[in-house]
Amino acid sequence: MGTDLRADPLRLELPLPTTAMAIMPHRDPERALELAFTLDIPFWPQLPNISYSEDTYVQTVAGFPGAVVDHEGLRILLDEEAFYAGLEEYLELDHVDERFAVTPAQSLTYAGFLERASPHYPALRGQFMGPISLALMVKDADNKPVIYRDDVREMLIHHVARRVNRHLSDLRALNPRSFVWVDEPG
């Protein structure tokens, strides 16, 4: 009685459908969306060559209290005072609150992706950066990754979960077989 290796909780037909990584070199959001929808499972394109706002790390950390994106230095910093000042309000937010939604300021392609999405595809693919990689990227005032800060690390892990859950909720409203890839390159 072995495990059925062909078991498929997403109910996808074999052979497996195609999808792709989301980070694309394109500078034309419309062209990137066109390509994303040529695959079996369309994916949300991210276009970091247009703006640092399109970087997966930046999109994932959006809305985290005290996160400061340095667009010129291409880095993410933690303003400790702002972190603690915003923490209580942040903790009271529901996991599907609007503050966890992807906004047009965070992505040039997300609205277009949602407009094209439908339940006719086998699934829709979203993505965010994983909590370990994100906590290694965000630096405190001493230029130390916040993964080494017990007070911040746990909150950042919860933040990624909230962003992923909201993203998944948005996608599943359009296609119930949607999934969110959590990227952990470390």
* Cβ contact 178:168 at 8 Å: yes
What are the residue ranges spanned by the domains of the chain? 34-183
Q: Would you state the pLDDT for residue 142?
A: 97
**9: pLDDT confidence band, cut at 50, 70 and 90?**
low
Interval 69-75 mean pLDDT: 97
Of the candidates 72, 73, 186, 87, the residue with the CA atom closest to the CA atom of residue 137 = 186
**11: pLDDT confidence band, cut at 50, 70 and 90?**
confident
Give percent of the chain above pLDDT 90: 86
How far CA 169 is from CA of 37, 68, 105, in Å, comes to 20, 26, 20
The pLDDT tens digits of the residues spanning 176-185 come to 999 999 999 8
Mean pLDDT of the chain: 93
Q: Using the predicted structure, report yes or no on whether residue 59 has a pLDDT greater than 60.
A: yes
Total residues belonging to the chain: 186
Q: What is the per-residue DSSP string for 14-45?
A: SSPPP---SB---S-HHHHHHHHTTSSS-B--
pTM summary value: 0.88
Q: Which residue has the higher pLDDT, 95 or 140?
A: 140
Burial class (CB in 10 A: 0-12, 13-18, 19+), 169: middle
